[in-house]
């Protein structure tokens, strides 16, 4: 009889130990999951605090100098710096890799006349075409890069007017990354897609 009682106590003790062990495992799993969620939340918070947002815009007037200046711009309206990797130019259904390819597609006759030997000496420095690289450029918060700019002058009137009309048909998409290596593709002012890398 005493032997049976001892066996029952041993079995009860084993059950209790098993329950305690299972509870300990469940607590460990819950603790690990809570830590994971906390780390994930912190990661998302840091990501949100460093999120860049590149937007494209164009203009035909510079209020700072109060003159007609055609400009195509990429601006960072996010909360973190952006590392610009590349930009693509879509015009009338075709994609172009550089601003010069777009210019030749939209305004070849006017561009050739502007760059002709006869016209070139008439173009003052301030009326020349200015372009900027968009490859591996760091763009701080609330800053912009002028992909293209040209001040209006009698030596570039035809090109200026033509481009001023055609710029509304141009869509610019840019691929850029945050300082945390999160990469995005944006088009215009509204469409943003996260990507793994900025590929060619």
| 145 is a domain residue | yes
Longest dimension (CA), the chain: 120
State the pLDDT at residue 41. 54
pLDDT in tens, 153-162: 999 999 999 9
State the pLDDT at residue 46. 53
Please tell me whether residues 102 and 178 are part of one structural domain: yes
pTM of the predicted model, to two decimals?
A: 0.76
Please tell me whether residues 62 and 96 are part of one structural domain: yes
| 73 is a domain residue | yes
Other beta carbons less than 10 A from residue 6's beta carbon? 10
State the pLDDT at residue 43. 54
Q: Could you tell me the residue range of the domain that residue 153 belongs to? A: 54-195
State the pLDDT at residue 189. 72
Please tell me whether residues 29 and 114 are part of one structural domain: no
| 142 is a domain residue | yes
Per-residue HEC secondary structure of the chain comes to CHHHHHHHHHHHHHHHHHHHHHHHHHHHHHHHHHHHHHHHHHHHHHHHHCCCCEEEEEECCECCCCECEEEEEEEECCCCCEEEEEEEEEECCEEECCHHHHHHHHHHHHHHHHCCCCCHHHCCHHHCCEECCCCCEEECCCCEEEEEEEECCHHHHHHHHHHHHHHHHEEEEEEEECCCCCEEEEECCCEEEEECCCCC
Please tell me whether residues 103 and 184 are part of one structural domain: yes
Please tell me whether residues 43 and 64 are part of one structural domain: no
Please tell me whether residues 88 and 183 are part of one structural domain: yes
Please tell me whether residues 129 and 43 are part of one structural domain: no
Please tell me whether residues 75 and 149 are part of one structural domain: yes
| 200 is a domain residue | no
| 144 is a domain residue | yes
| 161 is a domain residue | yes
Q: Which residue stretches of the chain have pLDDT < 50?
A: 1-2, 39, 42
Please tell me whether residues 31 and 45 are part of one structural domain: yes
Picking from 32, 49, 66, the residue at the C-terminal end of a domain is: 49
Is residue 111 within 8 A of residue 81, CB to CB? The reply is no
Counting the structural domains of the chain, the total is 2
Please tell me whether residues 65 and 45 are part of one structural domain: no
State the pLDDT at residue 45. 57
State the pLDDT at residue 40. 53
pLDDT in tens, 56-88: 999 999 999 999 999 999 999 999 999 999 999
Please tell me whether residues 61 and 39 are part of one structural domain: no
Please tell me whether residues 35 and 85 are part of one structural domain: no
| 101 is a domain residue | yes
């Amino acid at each position: 009889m005493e032997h049976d009682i001892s066996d029952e106590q041993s079995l009860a003790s084993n059950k209790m130990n098993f329950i305690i062990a299972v509870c300990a495992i469940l607590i460990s799993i819950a603790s690990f999951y809570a830590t994971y969620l906390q780390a994930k939340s912190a990661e998302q918070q840091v990501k949100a605090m460093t999120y860049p947002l590149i937007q494209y815009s164009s203009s035909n007037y510079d209020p700072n100098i109060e003159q007609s200046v055609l400009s195509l711009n990429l601006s960072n309206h996010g909360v973190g710096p952006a590392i610009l990797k590349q930009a693509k130019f879509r015009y009338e259904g075709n994609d172009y890799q550089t601003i010069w390819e777009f210019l030749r597609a939209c305004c070849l006759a006017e561009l050739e006349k502007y760059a002709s030997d006869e016209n070139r000496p008439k173009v003052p420095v301030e009326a020349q075409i200015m372009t900027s690289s968009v490859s591996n450029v760091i763009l701080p918060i609330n800053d912009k890069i002028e992909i293209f700019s040209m001040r209006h002058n009698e030596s570039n009137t035809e090109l200026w007017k033509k481009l001023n009309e055609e710029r509304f048909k141009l869509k610019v998409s840019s691929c850029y990354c945050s300082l945390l290596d999160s990469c995005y593709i944006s088009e215009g002012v509204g469409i943003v897609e996260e990507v793994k890398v900025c590929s060619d």
